[in-house]
């Protein structure tokens, strides 16, 4: 996982609410918990296109683009 | 490549792809992440259950800190544990309690629904990188030891009971009945699943 954190450039787009609980996705009642405990290291996302593109160019790596939303049924603070 | 829904297989696939593209520059000097707003950053930090760091000050100082904080953000104990946002304006300040005036590096515990936050620590913009790193590590220890892991189903149910609503750039909902229109709740019929393209 450490390798993943440092070697992968990622962009996370947060505004696509349609995807949060969208087509083919889980229902709100299906959502579980994160695999990580609070404070544990996860993926070091880039959360603007500009910073991700800059880092991809700097380090010569491709971008893994992920669209996500931090809301479900309008309720915030959820992936 | 399309990643599957299994976390372990997705991570394996990502590591395979990442191994094909080793960085051609020092990863310890990687660009620091940013957000479009503190509002968005709070929401993401809440969802990820990570401490949020907001670097707030004038544009020239922000530009300088984008570079000087690279080694901090890439530190083995820091990377992947925080979200970081650079912010020039002050509009966000009313959403965070315990904030002192002035440009600073603000370490924030995001609220349960990411609508607000509480200051855990506040450092001057000219703080030494070792002091910033130490402050962040301490904040993460405090945060992890005092934060219950979210179960998202219960989180959404509680949010609906409390009337929590986050207005995003795209309205939530889905075309459940396949009529081409976004349905926002109230539709009790079975969802029409269409083949993936």
Is the Cβ pair B166, A47 closer than 8 Å?
Answer: no
Structural domain that includes position A61: 1-20+43-79
For B26-145, CATH gives: 3.40.30.10
In a mutational test of the A interface, the residue from B83, B168, B191 whose CB has the highest number of chain A CBs within 10 Å is B168
Task: Compare B160 and B183 and report the one with higher pLDDT.
Answer: B160
Give pLDDT, residue B193: 52
Question: In this predicted model, what pLDDT tens digit does every residue of A22-65 receive, in sequence order?
Answer: 445 566 677 788 888 999 998 899 999 999 999 999 999 989 88
Residue A26 resides in a domain:
no
Is B43 close to A76, i.e. CB distance below 8 A? yes
Q: What percent of chain B has pLDDT over 90?
A: 73
| Total tally of structural domains belonging to chain A | 1
When pLDDT is cut at 50, 70 and 90, the band that residue B178 belongs to is confident
**In the 8-state DSSP scheme, what is residue A69?**
B
Going by pLDDT thresholds of 50, 70 and 90, the confidence category of residue A12 is: very low
Three-class DSSP labels, B77-110: CCCCCEEEEEECCCHHHHHEECCCCCCEEEEEEE
SS3 at position A10: strand
The whole-angstrom distance between A68's CA and the closest CA on chain B is 10
Residue A11's pLDDT band (cuts 50, 70, 90)? very low
Residue B84 to residue A26: CA distance in whole angstroms: 29
Query: Cβ B172–A78 below 8 Å, yes or no?
Result: no
Q: How many helices (H) and strands (E) does chain B have?
A: 6, 5
What's the pLDDT band for A3 if we cut at 50, 70, 90? very low
Q: B40 contacts in A (CB within 8 Å)?
A: 14, 47, 70
The verdict on A57 touching B (C-beta cutoff 8 Å) is no
Give the pLDDT of residue A26: 61
- Flag whether A49 is in a domain: yes
At A25 the pLDDT is 56
Note the pLDDT of residue B182.
Answer: 76
pLDDT at B143: 98
Q: What is the interface size between A and B, counted as CB pairs within 8 Å?
A: 221
Is the per-residue pLDDT at A74 higher than 70? yes
**Residue B25 pLDDT > 70:** yes
- Over the stretch B62-112, which tens digit does the pLDDT of each residue have? 999 999 999 999 999 999 999 999 999 999 999 999 999 999 999 999 999
Q: What percent of chain B has pLDDT over 70?
A: 87
pLDDT higher than 50, residue B30: yes
Is the minimum CB–CB distance between A67 and chain B shorter than 8 Å?
no
Output A43 or B137, whichever has higher pLDDT: B137
Chain B residues with CB under 8 Å of A41 CB are 79-81
What is the overall mean pLDDT for chain B? 89
Query: Of B40, B80, B153, which is closest to A5 when you measure between CB atoms?
Result: B80
Is the Cβ pair A33, B152 closer than 8 Å? Answer: yes
Q: Is it the case that residue A14 has pLDDT exceeding 70?
A: no
**B110: exposed, middle or buried (Cβ count in 10 Å: 0-12, 13-18, 19+):** buried
**Which residues in chain A are contacts of B32 at CB distance < 8 A?**
51
The whole-angstrom separation of Cα B118 and Cα B71 is: 26
Q: Mutate which of B49, B78, B149 to disrupt the A interface (most A C-beta within 10 Å)?
A: B49
Residue A56 sits at the chain B interface (C-beta within 8 Å): no
For residue B119, pLDDT beyond 80: yes
Angle at A65 between CA A62 and CA A69, to 5 degrees: 160
- With beta carbons under 8 A apart, name residues in chain B contacting A57: none
CA distance B111 to chain A (A): 8
A72 lies in some domain: yes
Domain ranges of chain B: 26-145
């Amino acid at each position: 996982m450490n390798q993943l954190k440092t070697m992968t450039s990622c962009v996370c787009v947060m505004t696509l609410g349609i995807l949060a609980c969208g087509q083919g996705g889980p229902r709100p009642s299906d959502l579980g918990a994160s695999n990580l405990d609070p404070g544990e290291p996860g993926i070091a996302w880039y959360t603007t296109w500009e910073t991700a593109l800059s880092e991809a160019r700097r380090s010569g790596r491709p971008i893994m683009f992920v669209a996500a939303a931090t809301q479900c049924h309008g309720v915030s603070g959820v992936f | 490549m399309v990643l599957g829904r299994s976390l372990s297989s997705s991570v394996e696939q990502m590591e395979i792809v990442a191994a094909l593209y080793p960085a051609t520059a020092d990863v310890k000097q990687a660009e620091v992440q940013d957000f479009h707003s503190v509002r968005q950053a709070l929401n993401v930090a809440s969802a990820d259950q990570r401490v949020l760091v907001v670097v707030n000050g004038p544009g020239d100082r922000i530009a300088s800190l984008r570079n000087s904080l690279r080694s901090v953000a890439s530190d083995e104990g820091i990377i992947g544990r925080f979200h970081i946002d650079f912010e020039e304006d002050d509009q966000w300040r009313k959403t965070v309690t315990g904030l002192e005036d002035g440009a600073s590096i603000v370490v924030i515990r995001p609220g349960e629904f990411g609508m607000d936050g509480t200051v855990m620590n506040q450092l001057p913009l000219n703080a030494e990188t070792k002091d910033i790193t130490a402050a962040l590590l301490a904040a993460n220890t405090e945060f992890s030891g005092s934060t219950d892991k979210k179960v998202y189903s219960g989180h959404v149910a509680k949010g609906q009971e409390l009337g929590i609503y986050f207005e995003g750039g795209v309205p939530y909902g889905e075309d459940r009945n396949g009529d081409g229109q976004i349905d926002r709740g109230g539709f009790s019929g079975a969802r029409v699943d269409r083949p993936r393209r």
